[in-house]
Amino acid sequence: MKNNKKKYALVIILILFIAFFSSQCMMTRTNTESKKTVAVILPYTYNKENSRILDAIRDYSHNNSIILDVWHEKSLSSNELSSIIANEEQNHAIGILLIYPENYLTQQEKHYDYNNVLAITATMQTAFSHYAAFENSPSPSYLLPVSAQVIKKIQDGKTNCIYIKNTYKLGYESIQMLDTYSRNKYMKDISIPCHKVDKAAIESGELDALLTN
Amino acid sequence: MKTNLFSYNSILFTLIIILISTITIWKLPQTQNGYTHIGIAVYDMDDTFINDYVTKLQNKIDRSSFSGKKVLYEIFDAEGNANRQEHQLQYMYTQNFDALLINLVTPSSAASVLNETANHDIPVILFNREADKKDLSISKQTWYVGTAAKKAGAIQADMLQNVWNTDKINLDRNKNNKLDYILIEGEQTHFDAVRRTNGFLENSQNLPLNQLTNLSADWQRNLASVKFSKLDTSIIQSAEAIICNNDDMALGVYDYYKQHNLKLPLILGINNSPEMNQKIQAGEIYGTVDNGTSDQISYICKLLNDILNKDTAKYHKIWYSKPFAIEK
């Protein structure tokens, strides 16, 4: 009888220990391990034209448990880019996003053959295996954010229409593509059309979200 | 009997294996990001002073070594919009930054920001736009780095006094024995604007000042030029000196005079921006006050390094750089 009680006590103690250490495991591991990393390489000097691209990347990251490793480069050779990519792969990055590499890559005539790299670019589409860019648009074209003065000129009839390059959408779809790539190893080029903005479009309100700064 | 003993031993063995596995998984090292991450939240990168400040900060961080790890930083431009900065800060709280450098759009909102950073256990260095002292005490891991704003205003008064003493003939154009001036202030609720103005006024008691008018231009060059242009022409033409809380507004006034081909009065600013310095050396603008930006940046990097090494006991909550005059 006494022996039976000891046996049951031992089993219960073991179960309690398992419960305790399992809960410790769950508490300490939930936050850090669920986040993925994406490396972003930016031109060194801050440029407001990239602001909405970065907004989109951050919004997507925030909603999808992604941490950003952001690099700022004045000039980068192909070897230096390889080194950053290798370091980021060691750092478990799921992909690398280059933002307008034409502003810092010194060897623009080369082909950069990386499966996990997506380049947002205006002039180097052929240099990368995968790129994100705007479709060719008529003039005048503007990047987001569009100033109130430009909108007012359309409303006053001083300008017929303009074309807007939705940099937020460009940034969002780019990081979304890298996130998708991390799951199914498939990446494709991204081509974003421009929005035509004329007086009627402004007055209809359909572009309010796009035009709000 | 034998079967019962075998079942009991099997259960015991299984539980012991599960316990050992659980302890092993608990003790396994977690995947760590290999870099140090710093978030830099800026009130408005269109402000030339702040833009220059952040560029210098970038250069300094890139040249510095922090605990042997590469430092990656992100710059967040609030574009002068408090809601935009709030959205950016919400993102920053969850991004595992090792430290934040924050230049608040609305310094009066410091308490809510610092409560959040304290909840997320993130060290914060506020810079340039000073918050209330009592807000800084919300968290042990909060510091402020800036300039002695009142001293900067006092230096402007000293510079003006020097010119009045040595070149009164040319300064007092209308020969009324008074120094007729216009005061151009920064944001009305900004501590630095108030202190710079107070410093100037309190230190110019010995000058026969006559304030023709004053206006607030929110630190902005274009706004200063626009508001200045709306002043009465007689006031503009009577002004012998223009005292500005910062260089951008001083340059806005300079723009107005140049566009209208008017003779420049004595103009004083604060910040020592590259363009302002160039115009001072060219003799077009009289002078400015350097805020000791380089010293602030060195101090911020040193403090950052000690934050990362958890060695901040020696630091005071507030540190000011010493401003100094810049003339030709």
Give the span between the Cα atoms of B118 and A190, in whole angstroms.
Answer: 41
Per-residue pLDDT tens over the stretch A165-184: 999 999 999 999 999 999 99
Per-residue pLDDT tens over the stretch B147-180: 989 999 999 999 999 999 999 999 999 999 999 9
Residues 6+ apart with CB under 8 A from B226: B252
pLDDT of the residue at A30? 54
For CA atoms B56, B58, B59, B63, the dihedral sign is positive
- Gap from B282 CA to chain A (nearest CA, Å): 28
Chain A residues with at least one Cβ partner in B under 8 Å: 7, 10-11, 14-15, 17-18, 21-22, 24-25, 28-29, 32-33, 35, 37, 44-46, 48, 51, 58-59, 61-62, 67-72, 87, 90-92, 213
pLDDT of the residue at B3? 65
Q: How many CA atoms lie within 13 A of A126 on its CB side?
A: 3
Q: Name all domains of chain B by residue range, CATH numbers in brackets.
A: 36-147+293-322 (3.40.50.2300), 150-290 (3.40.50.2300)
- Which residue in B13, B55, B60, B75 has the most chain A C-beta atoms within 10 A of its own C-beta, making it the best mutation to test that interface? B75
pLDDT of the residue at B30? 57
The pTM score is 0.84
Could you tell me what percent of chain B has a pLDDT over 90? 80
Neighbouring C-beta atoms of residue A138, cutoff 10 Å: 10
Within chain A, how many helices (H) and strands (E) appear?
A: 7, 9
Q: Which long-range contacts (CB under 8 A, 24 or more apart) does B228-236 make?
A: B228/B182, B228/B184, B228/B252, B228/B253, B228/B256, B229/B256, B231/B182, B235/B182, B236/B262
Nearest by CB to residue A24, choosing from B26, B75, B96, is B26
Compute the mean pLDDT over every residue in chain B, rounded to the nearest whole number. Answer: 92
A49 DSSP 8-state letter: G
* The one-letter amino acid at B278: Q
Pick the residue from chain A with its C-alpha nearest to B46: A48
Read off the pLDDT band of B126 (50, 70, 90).
very high
SS3 label, residue B84: helix
Identify all chain A residues contacting B31, using CB atoms and an 8 Å cutoff. Answer: 32-33, 92
Instruction: Evaluate if residue B223 carries a pLDDT over 80.
Output: yes
Per-residue pLDDT tens over the stretch A83-121: 999 999 998 999 999 999 999 999 989 999 999 999 999
Give the span between the Cα atoms of B289 and B155, in whole angstroms.
Answer: 7
Instruction: Evaluate if residue A3 carries a pLDDT over 80.
Output: no
Burial class (CB in 10 A: 0-12, 13-18, 19+), A118: buried
Helices (H), chain A: 2-33, 51-63, 78-90, 148-155, 167-184, 199-204, 208-211
Per-residue pLDDT tens over the stretch A42-84: 999 999 999 999 999 999 999 999 999 999 999 999 999 999 9
A and B: number of Cβ contacts within 8 A: 83
Instruction: Evaluate if residue A31 carries a pLDDT over 60.
Output: no
- Gap from B50 CA to chain A (nearest CA, Å): 12
Per-residue pLDDT tens over the stretch B33-64: 789 999 999 999 998 889 999 999 999 999 88
Identify all chain B residues contacting A53, using CB atoms and an 8 Å cutoff. Answer: none
